[in-house]
Amino acid sequence: MKASITKTQFGVLQDGRPVELYTISNAKGAVLKVTNYGTIITELHVPDRAGRLGDVVLGFDNLAQYLAGHPYFGCTIGRVANRIGGAKFTLDGKTYTLAANDGPNHLHGGLKGFDKVLWQAEPQQNGSIKFTYTSPDGEEGYPGTLNVTVVMTWTDQNELVLEYTATTDKPTPVNLTNHSYFNLAGEGDILGHVLMLSASHYTPADATLIPTGEIRPVAGTPLDFTTPTPIGARFDQLDTNPRGYDHNFVINRAGKGLALAARVFEPKTGRVMEVFTTEPGVQLYTGNFLNGTLKGKRGVVYAQHTGFCLETQHFPDAVNKPTFPSIILRPGQTYQQTTVYRFSVRV
Ligand code: GLA
């Protein structure tokens, strides 16, 4: 089979701009679909242990449903992923106020983050699509014009490679991620997916999910996934409401570069997903807020815990936590982050 990229129209925005949908088939016949609206990954078809392709991400069949609102299915998140406490931060002596769109806090870039803008798409030679977006100075309250690039590559080895870069003309916080919800069985809940997290520590948070600033060991807690464990096995030991995980883990790493963050195994289908990243953290979110009101592709109702996210990132509220790795990008510097989701099977 020959790898190919095809472009179709996905719909039009309210202002009349057309939205594209790209279908990338690799040499193995596995398929990734991505739209330039929010750079949302709408479908990802990978083989099970019998070689049967199945769609392993949550999403919708049409643009209208994405426009009607959804909890960040498949999109790029920016300018700053996850939460900023009290929806404000001070940078170089100046305080910036952002939208409080998650209780008192700012979440996932604000009211109209990078998930809700139209990106420019340029298909490349090698099964890649280069998406670019210019975020104007002051957009969603953030300082500086930010030029952002996301190169998505769907390799013949069934690896989804996400390479992000950004430059700015004023100092600004930047923390980009992808918010795909995975279900390696393609249906049902994800409680039986067996998860290994290469993380001996996590960042404890308050009731509104803002980190306290501490870094604590996972040992002896239901957050210890250093030994592979079914995702749902210890939900009853968590004090979260709604039930499930929504925690930032500190990835074990020896140095800079790509490190293994997670491995997920789905016993019924044999599908395996590994996550490698350059980032210091990963948010494990188990679809706790899904409540059966959204109907996705193939008419499937997205009930609680029917998908999980592994959002590779700098730590939540880093902009207000001097002890966390900094997310400030200054003119002349280039922000870079790479994350690889690699799919395979275990027999
Ligand atoms: C992230 C957050 C969750 C939730 C989801 C979207 O994963 O950490 O609390 O907001 O996004 O519903």
Mutational test site, ligand 1, from 84, 190, 285, max ligand atoms within 8 Å of CB = 285
With a 6 A CB cut-off, is 72 part of the ligand 1 pocket? yes
Q: By the 8 A CB rule, do 122 and 129 touch?
A: yes
Supply the CATH classification number for the domain 4-345. 2.70.98.10
Instruction: Give the per-residue pLDDT at 125.
Output: 84
CA 216 vs CA 197, 200, 220, 223, 327: distances in Å: 15, 8, 11, 11, 21
For 50-85, the pLDDT digits (tens) are 999 999 999 999 999 999 999 999 999 999 999 999
For 103-158, the pLDDT digits (tens) are 999 999 999 999 999 999 999 988 899 999 999 999 999 999 999 999 999 999 99
Q: How far is the CA of 285 from the centre of ligand 1 (A)?
A: 7
Which pLDDT band holds residue 18 (cuts at 50, 70, 90)? very high
By annotation, the residues acting in catalysis are: 179, 311
Atom from ligand 1 closest to the CA of residue 107: 10
Token pair of 174, please? Answer: 């930047």
Mutational test site, ligand 1, from 107, 202, 282, 288, max ligand atoms within 8 Å of CB = 107
Average pLDDT of the chain, as a whole number: 97
Atom from ligand 1 closest to the CA of residue 309: 7
Q: What is the DSSP string of 73-115?
A: TT-EE-SB-SEEGGGEEEETTEEEE----BTBBEETTSTT-GG
Collapsing DSSP to helix, strand or coil, 312 comes out as strand
pTM metric for this prediction: 0.98
DSSP tally for the chain: helices H, then strands E = 1, 27
For 279-328, the pLDDT digits (tens) are 999 999 999 999 999 999 999 999 999 999 999 999 999 999 999 999 99
Provide mean pLDDT across the span 221-248.
97
Domain spans, the chain: 4-345
For residue 1, pLDDT over 80 is answered with no
With a 6 A CB cut-off, is 101 part of the ligand 1 pocket? no
For residue 2, pLDDT over 90 is answered with no
